[in-house]
Structure 1
Amino acid sequence: MSRLRNRGWVLPASFTLALLFGLLPLPELLLPLRPYWLALVLAYWVIETPDRVGLGFAFCIGLLADLMFGGILGDQALRLVVMAFILQRFRARIRFFPLSQQALAMGGLLFNDRVIDAAIHLLAGERLLPWSYWWAPLLGMALWVPLYLLLDALRLGKRRR
């Protein structure tokens, strides 16, 4: 039996938790700082297992998130597909970066995600996003290394000695 087959629960569990973390109620002051958990988890899986998670998966999970979070239908789907496309295009380079450089790349991708989200809100005629909304990519960048190490340990079944 393959070790990866035994760990098949990690992919759905990680996306389920990411969706639930996105639904957790936060105080009004902290709402703009909420990291985009779904994008971080998607980025990990696109980098590490591109044969299982790709553009179609990103679109479907984005539509599910749109339905769960009650936003503009297709907003998160578009944002996640753009992120998955960029990650697939540069996967070979990003995968071999040290984790600190991967975190910087993730910060850039999360900032790009915020730009796309702001453009969608602007085109939909919704109110402009507050300036504190732009701090979330920095928090996501800081969370990349621990999240990557956690998901990698769960996926590969590494144990502490």
Structure 2
Amino acid sequence: MRSYPRWTLYASLAVALLLGLLPLPGALQPMRPFWIGLVLAYWLIEDPDRVGLGFAFLLGLVGDIVDGGLLGEQALRLVILAFIVQRFRARLRFFPVSQQALTIGALLVNDRIVSAGLHLALGEPTLPWAYWAAPAIGMLLWPLVFLILDALRFGAWRRR
């Protein structure tokens, strides 16, 4: 396996955290893709030696602190996502990007179900229907996220 600079992992996750903080108009806010989940899924598929369940949990705690949400919610969501990706990594890794996108879409729907269940269990306000469009948007963004992170990981930007 080719080595890559460790900063690419941390920089991509920092960018994902920042993308989650970008202001959106009120109507588009519930449709925001789960950027941290997308980037984490990429690293779980491509570098499972550096990224695992503990990493996902810590990243989720950082995400909760940055977002100002319920402490532990994103951590739980990311650990569940990481567990599923790790479980099926051998298959996911060899899927074409289009099939990976469908799988990532299903994982993001599962994430929304977990989040909605947490909100329901804690008596939080129910989530708007537009909230369920975010997994489809994340699924459509997966090929772009995958290609950008692959280019960073393999250093394609240095060859020019």
Same fold (TM over 0.5): yes
Tell me which of 18, 21, 46 is aligned to 2:19. Answer: 21
Unaligned runs of 5+ residues in structure 1 are none
- 1:30-87 per-residue CA deviation (whole Å, 9 max, x = no partner) reads 1011000000000000000000000000000000111111111100000000000000
Q: Which residue of 2 aligns with 1:91?
A: 89
SS class of match (1:4)? coil
* 1:31-110 to 2 correspondences below 5 Å: 31-110=29-108
- RMSD of aligned alpha carbons: 1.4
Equivalent pairs: percent with the same residue?
A: 62
SS class of match (2:23)? coil
Q: Which residue of 1 aligns with 2:3?
A: 4
TM-score w.r.t. the length of structure 2 is 0.96
Say whether 1:143 aligns with 2:159.
no
**How many pairs align?**
159
Q: Which residue of 1 aligns with 2:125?
A: 127
- Is the contact made by 1:3 and 1:157 (CA closer than 8 Å) also made in structure 2? no
Say whether 1:115 aligns with 2:113.
yes
User: How far did 1:3 drift?
Assistant: 5.9
Rounded Cα–Cα distance in structure 2 between residues aligned with 1:15 and 1:100:
23
